[in-house]
Amino acid sequence: MKNGVQVTGMVLSSMPIGEYDRRISLLTRELGKISVFAKGARKPKGAFVACTQTFAYGEFTVFPGRAYTLIGAEIGNYFEEFRDDFEKMYRGMYFCEVAGFFAQEGLDESERLKLLYATLTALSKGRMDPVLLKAVFDLRMLVIEGEGPEVTSCVGCRKPYSGGDSRFGLHEGGLLCGDCFVEDSIPVHDGTVRALNYICHAELSKLFSFELTEERRAELCDVVRQYFALHVDRKFKSEEMYGL
Ligand SMILES: [Zn+2]
């Protein structure tokens, strides 16, 4: 058997090729996002049938060449529960699609992979309201990208945020104090600012363990949606298809 490279990763998408094969997009810790050819992955009893499904997470052994070829896999989590829950499945597909959009081959994508895995786990266990979960994921993705907003001080005068209601400047990239605010900035309440701060800075293991009132949640989701749209000039397939 050929020697391959072992990587930890998740299948972001899976596409049929020819009669019996598949090509998967794999987000890995070691090699970034790679495209992998899986021979025989659509044969009824093929060895790679299950491990090439979207959401499969574990150890993959790939052989480098003009394109990577899959030669082995040890799956730790298939997120099987998504197959029985259509809403969770398409929400999960959205997270995979966004992670795949940002990820690149040859770069260290370990933070992105960790965020994706933690988000899918939270989704599968119903740990957070799914609309809020999407906002948390989207915002944290921008933080990984180095495009997170300034939420600890005013972007105008640099005065540290000291509590109280404030404004969020989409184009300015963060909070604006009472002296610096511009016309089209969005009013944000203290609870929303604290939640934004938490999402940008919390440890990943605690990222989904906070609560918000319905009003603050709506405000936060709205700010993140507009901020994300400003930075990511594209609509995702899963988002359009299911109206997320
Ligand atoms: Zn200011």
> pLDDT-derived band of residue 2, with 50, 70 and 90 as boundaries?
low
> pLDDT-derived band of residue 230, with 50, 70 and 90 as boundaries?
very high
Separation of 165 CA from ligand 1 center, angstroms? 13
pLDDT, position 120: 98
Cβ–Cβ under 8 Å, residues 109 and 33: yes
Separation of 155 CA from ligand 1 center, angstroms? 6
Q: What is the mean pLDDT of residues 28-44?
A: 94
pLDDT, position 46: 85
The CATH code that applies to domain 128-238 is 1.20.1440.120
Separation of 210 CA from ligand 1 center, angstroms? 28
Separation of 182 CA from ligand 1 center, angstroms? 10
C-alpha to C-alpha distance for 27 and 123, rounded to whole angstroms:
19
pLDDT, position 170: 96
Separation of 160 CA from ligand 1 center, angstroms? 9
User: How do residues 69-105 score in pLDDT, each as one tens digit?
Assistant: 999 999 999 999 999 999 999 999 999 999 999 999 9
Is 244 a residue whose pLDDT tops 80?
no
Separation of 147 CA from ligand 1 center, angstroms? 20
* CA 218 vs CA 13, 86, 160, 188, 223: distances in Å: 31, 24, 25, 11, 9
Instruction: Name residue 88's amino acid.
Output: K
> pLDDT-derived band of residue 1, with 50, 70 and 90 as boundaries?
low
- Counting residues of the chain whose pLDDT is more than 70, the rounded percentage is 99
Q: What are phi and psi of 48, to 5 degrees?
A: -105, 15
Separation of 175 CA from ligand 1 center, angstroms? 8
Q: What is the mean pLDDT of residues 158-174?
A: 94
Separation of 149 CA from ligand 1 center, angstroms? 15
pLDDT, position 239: 81
Strands of the sheet containing 174-176, edge to edge, are 174-176, 166-169, 186-188
Separation of 83 CA from ligand 1 center, angstroms? 49
Q: What is the mean pLDDT of residues 172-197?
A: 95
Q: Which is more confidently placed, 65 or 92?
A: 92
Residues bordering ligand 1, an ion, CB closer than 5 Å: 154, 156-157, 177, 179-180
Boundaries of every domain in the chain: 5-80, 128-238
Q: What is the mean pLDDT of residues 133-139?
A: 98
Mean pLDDT score across all residues of the chain: 94
Domain 5-80: CATH superfamily is Nucleic acid-binding proteins (2.40.50.140)
